[in-house]
Structure formats: structure tokens, C-alpha cells
Amino acid sequence: MKVEPGTRVSLASIAADDTGGLTREDAERRFKALAKELGELGRLLWADGSRKLLMVLQAMDTGGKDGTIRKVFRRTNPQGVKIANFKVPTSEELAHDYLWRIHEHTPGSGEIGVFNRSHYEDVLVVRVLGLVPEERWSRRYDHINAFERLLADEGTIIRKFYLHIDKDEQKRRLQARLDDPTKNWKFNAGDLDHRKLWDDYMAAYQDVLEKTSTDQAPWHIIPANHKWYRNLLVAEVLVEALRDAGLSYPEPEEDLDGIVIE
């Protein structure tokens, strides 16, 4: 679901377990073709060199950000993909404005950049945990829109995804991390503290989706209880964006006709 600018969002009314009427078999067959095309478009993006793609991923804990990246870019040359994971700011980062640490990780010409969490943490976790006063974080929606407009004006294609899981699915995924010794390392007791604030996070996400979905940087709400459906929807959006980007392979520097390699 694309969030049109200026529209209201109710996450409670969007089924996180939606499959669009598709079977897993049908979705995975379609996804396979899209993943291949995305790889080809990634090569074209690099060869063209005039544009760049920024993919922003946000989700509650266990929402599937890492898995989405692995699956969607499985056929894409990793040399052309830059992934940034924004954790708790360092003391140096806190000494600057909150976008300072973000800008250097935006993609360069021909690159695909992926933000696994992003600048939106500064109007999500910062808001929910009360890390800065409301008068500060409430101004950041306008800052973020201006920042993304700058990137778009300079040739960056921006697509933002909220991976929408419900609270029951999060419980199942957290329990799976406890039950499987090979996944114990992924369990963080602090996730349970954030889980207690689920409703507060939903309210914060709704404001993000309503206030920062723009024509140049739209949000897409992705039902993500079913990973195979999640992967398909994300791939569809990225492929469509690159198809519509007007990319082309450059002309050779000289006429190649008649060249013989001996």
C-alpha cells in the first residue's frame, strides 16, 4: 500500500497477514522473476551513472528488515549495494545535528543504498522513549522532508518501506529466537521493553507515514507477517521505480565496428 501524500493512516485497519489473494507458490514464482530483473536494473543503474536509489526500511523488532535485504537483492551485484545500519548514536554523532551521521551514507551515482533503520528513528524511538522534548522532535518531520527533497533533486530515487507485522506475529518470532539455540544471539531482552510500548510506537509510525510520505519519497506499507508476500511487494516497488527512471546504457566512446581482437 502506497501512502499518498496528505492521507490519513490507520495501521490497525491494515491486515499484517494479508497475501493479496496469492498462494505462496505463485508469489515466489513472481518474486524470482522480479529479483532477476532487479539485478539487471542494478547493472543498468550503475552503467547509466546519472541516478541512485535509496531504500529505507523501518519496522518493529523482528519485522524482517535483514531478511528483506537478503532476499530482495539476492540477484543483485553486491558491489553496487551499500547497506547502512543506524544504531544508538555515538558521542561524536550526538554532538552534531541528528542528520549529520545520515548524509554520508546516502548512495552515490549508480549505487543502491539501503538504510536498515534510518533517520526516522529520531521521530520514533526518540519520541516514544522521551529522549528529547516534543518541541524538538515535532520539528523534525519538516527537516526530514527537506532533506529527502534535497536528495531527490540531486538524482536520488527514494522508496521507503514500513514492514507491518502485528503483535502476535512479533511474539511468535521472539519466541522462535528463544527456542532455537542458533537464534539465541538475536534475542535482546530490551526488545521486550519496546514491545510494552507497542501502541505508542504505532501512533508514532502513523504520524511518520502521514507527515513524511511525499511524491519524491513515498512510504509503502508492506504487510509482512508472511515473508514471501513481503519480499514480493518490496521487489515490485523497487523494480517499478527503476523501470521508470529513464535509465540507459551509455554510448561507446568510439565506433566499435570493424574492431578485430586477435
**pLDDT band per the 50, 70, 90 thresholds, residue 187:** confident
Task: Please tell me the CATH superfamily of domain 2-6+22-243, with its number.
Answer: P-loop containing nucleotide triphosphate hydrolases (3.40.50.300)
Instruction: Parse the chain into domains and list their residue ranges.
Output: 2-6+22-243
| Residue 51 CB coordination number (10 Å) | 20
Range with the lowest mean pLDDT among 29-33, 108-112, 187-191, 200-204? 187-191
Helices 227-243 & 24-48 angle (0-180, nearest 10): 30
* Closest alpha carbon to 246 in 22, 16, 6, 50: 50
Percent of the chain with pLDDT over 70: 100
Q: SS3 for 8?
A: coil
* 5-43 as b/e: b if 16+ CB within 10 A: eeeebebeeeebebbeebeeeebeeebeebbebbbebbe
Give the tens place of pLDDT for each residue, 84-138.
Answer: 999 899 999 999 999 999 999 999 999 999 999 999 999 999 999 999 999 999 9
Instruction: Quick: pLDDT tens for 229-258.
Output: 999 999 999 999 999 999 999 988 777 777
> How many angstroms separate the CA atoms of 139 and 249, rounded?
42
Helix/strand/coil percent split, the chain, to 5:
50, 15, 35
